[in-house]
Structure 1
Amino acid sequence: MSRWLSLLCLLVLVSGCAAYVTHQFDDLFGSENPENRVSNVSEDDAVFYDEQVKPILDSRCVSCHACYDAPCQLKLTASEGIERGGSKDLVYDGTRLLAASPTRLFIDGKTTQEWRTKGFHPVLNEREQSPSANLQGSVLYRAIALRKKQGEFTQPVLSDDYDFSLARDQQCSSVEEYSQFEKNYPNWGMPYGLPALNDQEYDILTRWLAKGGKMPAAKALPSTLQMKVELWESRLNGDDLKGRLISRYIYEHLYLYSLYLDDGEDYRFQLVRSKTPPGEPVDRIATRRPYDPPGVAKVYYRLLADPEVKVQKNHIPMQLDEARYMRWMSYFYGEVYKVTKDPGYEREVATNPFRAFREIPSHARYRFLLDHSQNTIMAFIKGPVCRGQVAVNVINEQFWVYFVDPELGYNKGSADFLEDQVQELDLPAVGSSNTLPLASWVIFSEQQKSYLSAKAALIESDAGKKIPLDLNIIWDGDGNNQNAALTIFRHFDNASVVKGMVGQHPKTSWVIDYPLLERIHYLLVAGFDVYGNVGHQLVTRLYMDFLRMEGEMNFLMLLPKQDRERIRKYWYRDVSQTIKNYIFSDYIKIDREAQVQYGTNDHQAELYEKLRHKLTKVLDRDYDLEQSTLTAKQIEALYKLQAVRGGGLVFLPNVVTVLVTKQGVPVEVLSIIHNKAHSNISSLLDEESARLPAEDGITLVKGVLGDYPNVLMQVEESELINWASQVAKLKTGKDYTELLDSFGIRRTHPNFWFVSDAIANLNKLDRPRESGILDYNRLENR
C-alpha cells in the first residue's frame, strides 16, 4: 500500500511540476497555440531554408528521425513532420492487447491542431514569436544546444549512461519538461550519441530557429510534370467496371511505392485513394489498410507529390513511363474477359485477393507482379515495418529467389485450381487488427495443409505431368527483366532485397509462383497493421512460416526425389516435433522425379549453377566486386576473406559499411554482410538457441547494401589487403576491438560526419534512383 501511495505522490509531484513550468512559460511568452507559428515566409526565408537549413536536417537528423521508428515519432523528413512534433506513445508495442489508433504523417492528421489533439507536442515554439521565445520554447534548439554544451567526446566507447537499444525507454520531453530532462540526461543532446554539429551548422540552425523556424510551402510542379500527372490520373480513373477493378488492383500493390514520372530525382509521387476526382485538390482517404471500406460511393486514384526527403529504408522506386504502361495494358487487356461486378470491400472479400480480383485472369495479375518482383518482395521489407525481429526472423540470413514461368504455370487448369482453392487462401487480416493468435493459427494451418495437398495432387495429376519439373519451369525474365533472380539478406531485425544471385551458394532458396507471391504481399504489406495488437502480429509471423516452407518446397522439386527429405532435414535441424510433423507430412510431399540432368554429387550446388547459366542474360551484377575500382589483387584478398567460415566472424555486426579512400579522398564503398547461421528458423522468440556461429559466413559487395549500418569503417586503398587479412583472422572480441581501433569510425570518432557524408555521396553516384539517407538507429557502441 505504501509503495502505491509513493507512486501516486510522485505522479502528483511530476504533474504539478509540469503545470508550474507551463505556467512560467505562459507568463513569459504567452499561451501555447499552433496558430502562433509564423505563416508568411519571404523568398529570402525560403532560400535560406532550402539551401542551408534543410541540408543539415537531412544529413544530421533524418538518419535517426524517419519512418515509424523515429524516436518519439518525431519525423524530420518533411516540414509537416517538424510541425507535428513528438509523441510519448509507442508505435512498436509487441504487448498491446488492442490495436492502437494510427498516427501516420500526412494520413491520420491534416493540421497541426489535429496532431495536438492526438497527443503530439511541438518541437518548435508555438508561443509568442520573438527570438528569445523561439529558442527557449523550441525542443529542437534546446536539444542541439545541450549537445553543443557537452563538447567533444573524450573516450572511444560511450558509457552506459547512453542507451542505444531499439526498445529503450524514450523520454520524449516537451519543452515544459526539458529543463528537468537536461538535468537528468546532460549527455543526451542531439545528435544523440554522435559528434555535435560543427560551429557553422549550429549557427545556421540557431539563426533559423530564432527567426521562428520558417519553412516554405512546397513548390508547384513544373507544367510538363503536371501534364504527366493528369495523363496517369486519367488512365487510372476510367468509368467502366473492368478499368476500375484493374486500377484498384494496381493501387493495392503500389500504394507504398515512390513513383517517378520523369528521369529526374527531384519529384516522387504516391498513389493514393481520394474522395475527389482529378482536377480537384486531393482529399486523401485515411484507412488502416489499402482495401478497407473507403466510406465514399466512388474512389479516385490520384498521384500525390511526396514532400519527404528520400530515406533508403522505406524507398521503393518505380518509373511510370510509356513502356511500363504498354506492358500493363498487355497484361490486363491481352485476353478477352468480362468483369461483371464490383467486389466491394467486405472484409471476407477484400482481405483475400483471390476473391476480390477473381475476375481478372490470374495470368495477368502474375505478369503484373513479376514485372517488378523486386519491389513486390521489397514492400514487405521496406513497407510498414522499419523495425522488428519478429517480422523478419521468419527468413534465413541469405537466400536466392526464383519465379515460376507464367507461360508454363498459368493456364486454364491453374485458374480453375485457384478458383477451387480460394476458400483455403484466406489471410490473417480477415481477423482485423485484433486477433486471438492460437485459434487463428490452428485455422490457417489446416487451410494451408488443405491447399498444399490439393497443389501436390494437381502437380501429380495427368494435367500436371504435362509440365516437366525441369529448368523450363523457371522464369527467365523474358530475356530482359532483371527481376527474374533476387537475393534476400536478413540483418537480424531488418532485411534487404537486391537483384541478382549475390554472394555464395545459400543454404536455402525459394521458387515463387503466383499464389505465393500474392499472399506474401497481402500478408506482410497490404494486410499488415503495425498498430495492430500482439495477436495480429504473431499470427502474421506464424503464417509466414507456411509461405517460407512452400517456397522452399517449390525449389526442392527441382532436385532429385531422394535428396529432398535429407536437405529439408538439414534446413530444419533441431525443430520441435510439431514442426517436423508439418514439414515432413504427406501434405507437402511431391512424388514426381525432377527432370533436371545432374552430373555431380552435389546436386544443390549444381542446380544453382544451372540456374545461373539459364539466367545469365538478366542477372544484375552491380554488387559484384569486379564492378569496383579495386585492383585484381585487392579483389582476390576480399574473396579470400569471403571464404572464411565461423570463428571470429561471430564478433562482426550484421552490416559493416566501409569507405575506401585514396590519400584521404573517398573512392569506393564496400559492404560486409554477416550471414548468421541457424540450425533452423522456426523459433518465434528464442532465436539465439538455434544459432550456429561455427557455420557463419559473410558476403562482400561493392557499394552500400543494407539500409541500417551497424558500424562504419574507413580503409586506405593501400591498406585494404591488410584490412581483409585482419578481418579474416578475427578470433576474439579483443581482436574486433583492435580492428575498430585501427579502422573503425565509431560514434565518437571526430571524422564520423566526413565518412558519413562520403558514403552518402558515393551511394548516390552508384545508385541515384535507389539510394537514400541511411538509418543510424542501429549503430553499435563498442
Structure 2
Amino acid sequence: MLIKRTLWLIVILLLAACATLAGANFDKLFGPSDPKRFDAPVAGPESASSFAQVIQPILDRRCVVCHACNDAPCQFKATSWEGLARGASKTPVYDATRLLAAPPSRLYVDADKASEWRALDFFAVLNEHQVQTPEANRTAGLMHRLLALKQAHPMPTEGVVGGGLDFSLERTASCPAGAEIDTYERNTPMAGMPFGLPGLSAAEHDTLARWLEQGAPAVLPPAPSAPAMQRVAQWELFFNGDSLKAQLFSRYAYEHLFLAHIYFDDDPQRQYFKLVRSATPPGQPVRIIASRRPVDSPGVDRVYYRIVPERETIVAKTHMPYVLSANRMAHWRDLFLDAPYSVTRLPGYSAQDAANPFSTFAALPVSARYRFMLEEAEFTIMGFIKGPVCRGQMALDVIHDRFWVVFLAPEKRFDEPLSAVLARDANLLRLPTGSSNTDMVVPWLEYAHLENEYLKSRAQVLAGVFGKRVKLDLNLIWDGDGRNDNAALTIFRHYDSASVVKGMVGDTPRTAWVIGYPLLERIHYLLVADYDVYGNIGHQLNSRMYMDFLRMEGEFNFITLLPRAQREATRDAWYRGDSVSTREQVYGGAGTTVSAESEVRYQTTDARRELMDQLKTRLAPVLDRHLDIALQAPPALRAPLGDLAAINGTSLQWLPEVALLLIDTPDGATNTFTLLRNTAHASVSHLLGERRELRPEEDTLTVVPGVVGSYPNAFYRLDASQLPALTEAIRRLRSEKDYEAFAQRWAVRRTNPKFWAVSDDVLARYRRTQSLEAGVLDYNRLENR
C-alpha cells in the first residue's frame, strides 16, 4: 500500500510539472476558452459518479467547511454544482474600505449562467477550454490542480502548520486565475486544498479527480416532493392576494423572511425553501427580482412572492429555519387580513421608505407587526447574528460577549399610545441605511439628534402610561403567553462572529436587554433588511455606529426595572471609563429617563443580579433548558463539567473564543460540548481600540451540551476520566507557551491525521442530536497554535 501511495504521489508531481510547463499555453494546448461550457450541467457516461450522491457529499465534508456564503475565500462556493461552475473572484465581498458600493455577486440571483459570471470578472476553476480530455481537465482545471498540490505536498502530521500560510480572517486571498496557478504552486507549495488542513484520503481524491477528469458531469437535482410542492402552491396563493391589505402584509412578511430556510411542518423530509420576489405570478416560471436589498424598488408594477427550493448545501452560519403551517397561516390571517383596518394606498420604494419601516407599514397594526416578530424572536434576532452584517470584529464589538434578552409584553395600554407616537414621530425613527452609498460624519450627527428626540417623545408616553398607575414591574415582561420558548434568549459574541440561542444560558451575565416593538423592528431593518453587504464604508460604518443607540435602548429598558437609586450605578458599571455624555446616552440624554419608581420587590443591595434571577423565575414555565449541562449532560459528567464552567479570570484569555470539547465515555459513546469564552470589557461603546477595554480578570466560561456557534476555533478530545485534568490545566494557563503545551495534549490540531475523522464524527452527531439547527460548520477560524 505504501509503494502504491508513493507511486501515486510521483505521478501527481509529474503532472504538476507538466502543468507548469504548459502554463500560459492553455489556449494553444487545449483551444480557446468557452465561457458557455458550464452554463448547464451535462450528464456524464454511465460510469460517471453521481454528483448528488457521491461528489457533493465529499465537497460538503472537505470543501464547504471553508467555501460557503459571502466570506468564502475568493468567493468560491462549493455548496452546489452551480457554485463550482461560477468559479471564483479576486474581489472580496467584505471590504470595509471601499468608497463606492460594489456590484452584488449572489449565486442564483445576480447571474444565472457561468458565462454571465465571466462577464462579472469571475474566473473558471473547471476546464472551460475546447479540448475536454482527462489530461486537459487535469492541467487547465484549477480545482484539480489545487487538490493535486495538496497530495503532492501533504501537511505535517503534528505541531502547527508552517509553510508561511496565513490563517487570519483578514488575510489577502491569493485567488490564482488561469495560468497564475503556476506561480501559486511554486511560491506556496503548502497551499493546496483543503487549505491548511489534511488532504483528502486516497479514495476521496481518486473519486473527485476522476469526476473532474470526466468534465465535472452532473444532472439537475430532482424537484421537491409532490406534498411539499402542494404546500408551496397553497402558501403562494396566500402571499399573493390582490387586495391592498394583502399586498402590504406580504411585503412586510417578505422583508422579514427573505433570509429564512422555510420548511413545512408536515413534510417528513424537511425540504428547505426560500421566499423570493418574482416578476411572474404563481403558475409561471419564477423570475427573481435581483434588487440589492429586499427593501429596494422591484422595478415592476406588481410584485409576486414565490417559494423556491434551496439549492445549496445547508451551512450552519447562514441556516435560519422557519416553519410554515396551517396554524401559522390562520394566525397571520387573523392578525393582518381579517383585522378591522384599511389600506388605502401602497407605499413606494424610495430610499426614504427603505430607511423607515414605521412609515412604510404604518397602515399595519403595531400589535400585529410586533406579534409577527416576537413569536419567532430567536429567528428575528438570528438575522442580526447570521445575516450578512455579522462578519468581523468591527461589526460585532457593539455587543457584550454574553447577555440575556427578554421582551416587553404586547399590551393594549402600551400599543395604542405607542402607535400614536410612531405615527406622529416616524421621521425620528428613520435609519441611516436608506442608501448603499452613504457619507460618514454628517449623517451620524443627524441621526444621533433624531434618536435623542425619539427617546424624549417615548419618555413622555411612558410617563403618561405609568402615571395612570400601570405598574413598573415584571408583568411588563412577555411570558411567552405561557407556551412560547422565544420569551428569553441568550446572545454570545465570539469576537468576530456571534450566536443566539433560546433560554437563559449560563450564570447570571453582567448585562441584559429588554426589547419592545420599535427597538426590535429597528434592529431588523438596520442590520438585516436595510443592510447592504456590498455597500460602501459609510453605509457599513453608520450601521455599526447606530447600533450603539439600539444597544443602549435595550439596556435602558432593563435599567428602568431597577430601583431608581441603583440605575446610574448599574449603567456606569457597564460603561467604565466612558465620558459622562456617553453614559448619559443610555438614558438618551436629558429629559428621557423614566422617573417612576420600580415596583419590583428587591431583598438585597444587588438589584441587577436579583432582577435577572426574578426574570428567570417568571419565565421558568417556558424557559428552554436544552443547553443546561446540569440537566442535559450525562449524570457522570455533570459535576466535572460544572467545575470546568466555574473557571473564571485571567487564565481564560489564552483559550480560543469557541472550542468543541469531545468527551469519550466508558460506554463507547462520544459527547460534544461547546466551551464559550466570555471576554469581559470595561465598555463596548468604542468603535476602535477594543483591546484597551478588555478586562481578562473578569473573563468567564460557559459550557453547554452540543454545538453552539458556527465557527469553532478548536477541537479538544479526551476520555471522561481526564476531564478534571483538563480543568486544572486551563486554570493554570499563564502564557501562550502554556497554551501550546495544553494544545499539544488535548487539541485535535489542523495537522492531526485524524482531523477529518473527528470532523466527520462531530458533524454526524450534530445532525443527529440537533437536526433542525444543524448545518456544515465553518473552519475558516480554526486556530493554528
CA-to-aligned-CA distance 1:185-244 (integer Å, 9 cap, x gap): 100000111011011111110111111111221212221111111110000001000001
* Amino acid in the other structure paired with 1:119: D
Tell me the residue number matched to 1:589.
593
Determine the structure 2 residue equivalent to 1:742: 745
Please give the residue correspondences for 1:380-419 in structure 2 after superposition, counting only pairs within 5 Å.
Answer: 380-407=384-411, 410-419=414-423
- 8 Å Cα contact 1:257-1:317 kept in structure 2: yes
Moved more, 118-127 or 328-337: 328-337
Please identify, of 523-532 and 642-651, the stretch whose mean Cα deviation from structure 2 is larger. Answer: 642-651
Is the partner of 2:620 in helix, strand or coil?
A: coil
**Residue identity opposite 1:122 in structure 2:** A
Correspondence for 1:241: 244
CA spacing shift, 1:346–1:386, aligned 2, 3 Å: closer
1:628 touches 1:668 (CA, 8 Å); kept in 2? Answer: no
Contact 1:659–1:666 (8 Å) recurs in 2: no
Structure-2 change in CA distance of 1:141 and 1:566 (3 Å): same
Of the three residues 626, 630, 634, the one matched with 1:630 is 634
Q: Equivalent residue of 1:304, what SS? A: strand
Query: 2:104 maps to what in 1?
Result: 102
Assess if the C-alpha contact under 8 Å between 2:488 and 2:504 holds in 1.
yes
Amino acid paired to 1:540 = S
Aligned partner of 2:655 in structure 1 is 652
The answer as to whether partners of 1:265 and 1:769 remain within 8 angstroms in 2 is no
Structure 1, residues 498-546: CA drift from partner, whole Å, max 9, x if none? Answer: 0000011111100000000000000000111111111111111110000
Counterpart in 1 of 2:5? none
- Aligned residue runs from structure 1 range 311-460, under 5 A: 311-333=315-337, 335-407=339-411, 410-430=414-434, 432-460=435-463
Q: Distance in 2 between matches of 1:587 and 1:733?
A: 49
How big is the shift at 1:51?
A: 2.1
Cα 1:39/1:760, change in 2 over 3 Å: closer
Matches of 1:723 and 1:91, distance apart in 2: 40
SS of the residue aligned with 1:617? helix
Partner-residue secondary structure (3-state), 2:210: helix
Give SS of 2:673's match.
strand
Which residue of structure 2 lines up, in the alignment, with residue 12 of structure 1? none
With the length of structure 1 as denominator, give the TM-score of the two structures: 0.95
Is the 1:641–1:728 contact (alpha carbons within 8 Å) kept by the matching residues of 2?
A: no
User: Does the 8 Å CA contact 2:556/2:586 hold for their aligned counterparts?
Assistant: no
Show the counterpart of 2:8.
Answer: none
Aligned-residue offset at 1:291: 1.4
SS in 2 for 1:344: coil
Residues 662 and 545 of structure 1: CA distance in aligned 2, closer, same or farther (over 3 Å)? same
Change (3 A) 1:661 1:457: same
Query: Is the Cα contact below 8 Å between 1:21 and 1:177 reproduced in 2?
Result: no
User: Cα deviations across residues 377-416 of structure 1 (Å, max 9, x unaligned)?
Assistant: 0001101135221111111100000000012564322211
CA distances 1:324-371 after superposition (whole Å, capped 9, x unpaired): 222222322463111111112122123211011000010000001011
What's 2:9 paired with? none
Residue 27 of structure 2 is aligned to residue 26 of structure 1: yes
1:627 Cα shift? 4.2
Map residues 463-478 of structure 1 onto 2, 5 A cutoff: 465-478=468-481
The normalised TM-score by structure 2 is 0.95
State the AA in 2 paired with 1:103. Answer: S
* Cα distance in 1 between the residues matched to 2:225 and 2:635: 45
Mapped to 1, the partners of 2:362 and 2:681 lie a distance apart of 39
Are 1:503 and 1:700, in contact at CA under 8 Å, matched by a contact in 2? yes
CA gap 1:386/1:603 in 2 versus in 1, 3 angstroms: closer
Aligned position for 1:112: 114
Q: Please show how residues 492-507 of structure 1 align to structure 2 within 5 Å.
A: 492-507=495-510
Cα distance in structure 2, aligned partners of 1:427 and 1:742:
50
Task: Give the superposition deviation at 1:651.
Answer: 0.1
CA contact (8 A) 2:61 2:760 kept: yes
| CA drift at 1:83 | 0.5
Query: For the structure 1 residues 176 and 484, does the alpha-carbon distance in structure 2 shift closer, same or farther, using more than 3 Å as the test?
Result: same
Q: Secondary structure at the match of 1:429?
A: coil
> 2:433, 2:542 within 8 Å by CA — same for their partners in 1?
no
In the alignment, structure 1 residue 74 sits paired with structure 2 residue 89: no
Where does structure 1 lack aligned partners over 5 or more consecutive residues? 1-17
Asked if the contact 1:433/1:536 (under 8 Å) is kept, the reply is yes
The 2-side partners of 1:253 and 1:685 are apart by 31
Partner of 1:15: none
**Per-residue Cα deviation, 1:579-635 (whole angstroms, up to 9, x for no partner):** 235346324321110010111222111111111111111111111113445234x31
Question: Does structure 1 residue 695 correspond to structure 2 residue 698?
Answer: yes
1:267 to 248, 259, 271: 271
Shift of 1:322: 1.1
- Cα separation, 1, equivalents of 2:582 and 2:408: 26
RMSD: 1.9
* Cα distance, 1:160–1:28 mapped onto 2, change above 3 Å: closer
Q: CA deviation at 1:154?
A: 4.6
Question: Paired residue for 1:724, among 716, 723, 727?
Answer: 727
In the alignment, the residues of structure 2 paired with residue 617 and residue 462 of structure 1 have an alpha-carbon distance, to the nearest angstrom, of 28
Mapped pair 1:602 → 2:602: no
Answering whether residue 146 of structure 2 is matched by residue 179 of structure 1, we say no
Deviates more, 1:124-133 or 1:671-680: 124-133
Deviates more, 1:262-271 or 1:221-230: 262-271
Aligned 8 A contact 2:663 2:671 in 1: yes
- Aligned partner of 2:671 in structure 1 is 668
Q: 1:23 to 1:657 in 2, by over 3 A?
A: closer
Deviation at 1:470, TM superposition (A): 0.3
Given candidates 516, 531, 537, the residue that maps to 1:534 is 537
For the 8 Å contact 2:49–2:55, the answer to whether it is kept is no
Distance 1:546 1:172, change over 3 A: same
Identical aligned residues as a percent = 45
> Match of 2:332, SS?
helix
1:44/1:589 CA distance change after superposition, 3 Å: farther
- Counterpart in the other structure of 2:37: 36
Secondary structure, aligned partner of 1:272 = strand
Equivalent position SS for 2:730:
helix
Query: Quick one: distance in 1 between partners of 2:36 and 2:199?
Result: 32
Is 1:580 matched up with 2:598?
Answer: no
Deviation per residue, 1:647-672 (Å, 9 max, x gap): 21110110011112236955210000
Q: Distance in 2 between matches of 1:21 and 1:424?
A: 63
**C-alpha contact 1:144 1:189 (8 A) present in aligned 2:** yes
Shift of 1:463: 6.3
CA displacement at 1:166 relative to structure 2: 1.2
Instruction: Assess if the C-alpha contact under 8 Å between 1:459 and 1:465 holds in 2.
Output: no
2:329 maps to amino acid = Y
Distance in structure 1 (CA, Å) of the matches to 2:751 and 2:248: 54
Q: 1:356 to 1:442 in 2, by over 3 A?
A: same
Where in structure 2 are there 5+ consecutive unaligned residues? 1-18
| 1:285 partnered with 2:289 | yes
Does residue 301 of structure 1 match 2:305? yes
Who is 1:89 aligned against?
91
CA distance in 1, matches of 2:217, 2:385: 35
> Secondary structure in 2 aligned to 1:411?
helix
* 1:256-281: CA deviation from partner (whole Å, max 9, x where unpaired): 01000244455211000000000111
CA distance in 2, matches of 1:462, 1:483: 26
The runs of at least 4 aligned residues of structure 1 exceeding 4 Å deviation read 18-23, 42-47, 663-666
User: 1: CA distance between counterparts of 2:630 and 2:521?
Assistant: 35
Q: 1:46–1:216: 8 Å Cα contact kept in structure 2?
A: no
Instruction: Kindly indicate whether residue 526 of structure 2 is the aligned counterpart of residue 523 of structure 1.
Output: yes
Give, in whole Å, the separation in 1 of the partners of 2:414 and 2:163. Answer: 58
